[in-house]
């Protein structure tokens, strides 16, 4: 299957700082990637759709000014959590759909802890 | 919103037994997918079944889909300790493109005891 990587795998930061999470498709090109958030013992919630070369599409209730998404190339999408607060602590996972199979391939996730 | 609802929320079985998890959803779908997530890790795609299919097999996995009841089941046969994980169903309203979005259920935590 296709490979998606994320960096970093975990990060601890102080409240008020910004954190950037990278999502790379290693063996396929992705004009679209998806960012999900997962709180402990809960399911994944779609945050936004990242579109290469254009603005991201955010789900209802997700603050676009707080969660900045940049999809500058066909293999890289970044999520920046700006002015992070403890309530932003979560597991962030990206995914990329692959062609006609409709299968999505997920990155290993990034654990964000805001102190 | 959570489209899929899995049950049971947690399932504990002995190695060698079969495990069955169910998923119900509310709106029309193009396809339904099952994923596995080991603790603190990303998701691994297991199987995809389209709305015009009723049953699909992959190794020890068997998935059924009943669109009239808006439900699906995942059967893992001859379970192994390594199958211990959370299992999620996810539904897709469309096929492909930037409008393609997955809505995940709450998941079933499967524990297979050696």
Q: How far is B52 from chain A (nearest CA, A)?
A: 15
Output the six-digit token pair for B65. Answer: 């889909």
- Rounded Cα distance, B81 and B102, in Å: 28
Give the residue from B30, B26, B21, B13 showing the smallest Cα distance to B87.
Answer: B21
Confidence of residue B1 (pLDDT cuts 50, 70, 90): very low
Q: What is the pLDDT of residues B53-111, one digit of tens each?
A: 999 999 999 999 999 999 999 999 999 999 999 999 999 887 665 557 788 998 999 99
Answer yes or no: is pLDDT of A100 > 70.
no
What is the model's pLDDT at position B2?
40
Q: Are the beta carbons of A100 and B96 separated by less than 8 Å?
A: yes
Bridge pairing between strands B10-14 and B108-113: parallel
B10 has a chain A CB within 8 A of its CB: no
Question: Mutating which of A44, A48, A56, A112 best tests the B interface, going by the most B Cβ atoms within 10 A?
Answer: A44
Give the residue from A50, A76, A78 showing the smallest Cα distance to B98.
Answer: A50
Q: How far is A107 from chain B (nearest CA, A)?
A: 6
- Rounded Cα distance, A19 and A10, in Å: 11
The answer to whether B35 and B28 are in contact (CB under 8 A) is: no
- Collapsed DSSP state (helix, strand, coil) of residue B65: strand
| Closest partner CB to B43 (pick from A6, A46, A93) | A93
């Amino acid at each position: 299957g296709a490979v998606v990587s994320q960096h970093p795998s975990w990060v601890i930061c102080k409240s008020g700082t910004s954190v950037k999470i990278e999502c790379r498709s290693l063996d396929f090109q992705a004009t679209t990637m998806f960012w999900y958030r997962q709180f402990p013992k809960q399911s994944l919630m779609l945050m936004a759709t990242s579109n290469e070369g254009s603005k991201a599409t955010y789900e209802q209730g997700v603050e676009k000014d707080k969660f900045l998404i940049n999809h500058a190339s066909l293999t890289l999408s970044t999520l920046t959590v700006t002015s992070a607060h403890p309530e932003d602590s979560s597991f962030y996972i990206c995914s990329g759909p692959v062609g006609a199979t409709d299968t999505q391939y997920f990155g290993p996730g990034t654990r964000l802890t805001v102190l | 919103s959570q489209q899929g609802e899995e049950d049971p929320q947690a399932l504990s079985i002995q190695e060698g037994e079969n495990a069955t998890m169910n998923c119900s959803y509310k709106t029309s779908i193009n396809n339904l997918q099952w994923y596995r997530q080991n603790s603190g890790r990303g998701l691994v795609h297991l199987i995809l079944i389209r709305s015009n299919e009723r049953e699909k097999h992959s190794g020890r996995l068997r998935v059924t889909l009943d669109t009239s009841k808006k439900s699906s089941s995942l059967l893992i046969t001859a379970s192994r300790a390594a199958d211990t994980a959370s299992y999620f169903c996810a539904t897709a309203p469309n096929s492909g493109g930037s409008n393609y979005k997955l809505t995940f259920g709450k998941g079933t935590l499967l524990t297979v005891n050696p």
